[in-house]
Structure 1
Amino acid sequence: MDFSMYRQEINQMIDSLPDGELGKVYWSVEVIRRKYLFTKNMLDKGVVILTLLEKEHGIMGLWDSSFAKNISDETKSKIHYNQYKWHIFSYKKQECFEKEEARNAFDAMTKNELYVMYQNLPDIVFEYNNATDIVASDFDYEQDIYIFDMNFTWTYVYTHESMCGPYFYKNV
């Protein structure tokens, strides 16, 4: 397939837009580029990514029961847990490592097989296999991502807010 025709068509579309619309085009392309670079980085590291349908696996519920089990429903409501699960860390309801300590703790973990979920993709969880070379910096452009081992003993969370996180929590 000759992709040069796409480039020509895209250029024509961009040329037809007023300058005020170019910012939207830029950010749309940037999102696509970053997702591509993220996936390419994972594949270059030999990571095998499988897509799991959440309703068939209940992994998000297991995340809740593993990492937020001691947080009451009332507290969850007050901190808007349903909006962002990571609020248990940002509101200091669950003791955890933050910032560089969190990154270092994540990097030190054995990570052959992992689950990965995004706050804004409630129906999908990813399984990462052969993930031993993954490090915290691989997720620096992701937003509201939860990475955790398949035994639900630890989780690493990278948020969309630069002043919140990343967070690392390990069950004791």
Structure 2
Amino acid sequence: MSGIAVLLVGVVLCFWGIGSLHVAVLAAGFGLGWLIADLFNASLTTLILFALIGAVASWVVTTLIFKFSAYFIGGLTGAMAGAKIADVLQPGDNNWALSGIVILAVAVASAFLADKYRARALLWLTSIGGASMILAGLGRTSDTLAFLHEPEAGWEQITSTLLWIALSAAGWIVQRRLFADKLKIQTDEGSRR
């Protein structure tokens, strides 16, 4: 059950994140709470609690400071990517300090990119953040796929990272096609009219 919930939220964020900022905020907050708690092998109840608190807190803060929503969503999705990077860089037990530094650095950089480049940056960030959630969810659904959740050094890390990149690219392509008008991208169909 736990893997399926985060998997579904990841799919929404990865493939439909730029479609609705409200959905992106809720999904990114949910994912951030989940992935941070998951870094430290929290119980299912704690994971769900952190995820729900993350979703609600993200939405409330974004609503209060909507002017800075792109910055905030960029920071949230960047923190999700940072949590995945911290997990990939530290097979086995994770170091709180190193994880915090990586998450914060990627979150701040992503926030500034999202603020400067708006929809284009959010397209990338929601795809990357959603892909990390999909892999975390898949890794919790079966023992065979557990390496996607906690890859050991070697082929598991390489495979997990390559799948993360492939899913991120797929999410980027799907969102780019679905929301071309929102991104102000001329599609092949639009150029034929």
The TM-score range, normalised by the shorter chain, is: under 0.3
Flag the structure with larger Rg: 1
Structure with more of its chain in helix, by fraction: 2
> Larger relative CO (CA 8 A, sep 6+): 1 or 2?
2
Structure with more of its chain in strand, by fraction: 1
What is the TM-score of this pair, normalised by structure 2?
A: 0.22
What is the TM-score of this pair, normalised by structure 1?
A: 0.24
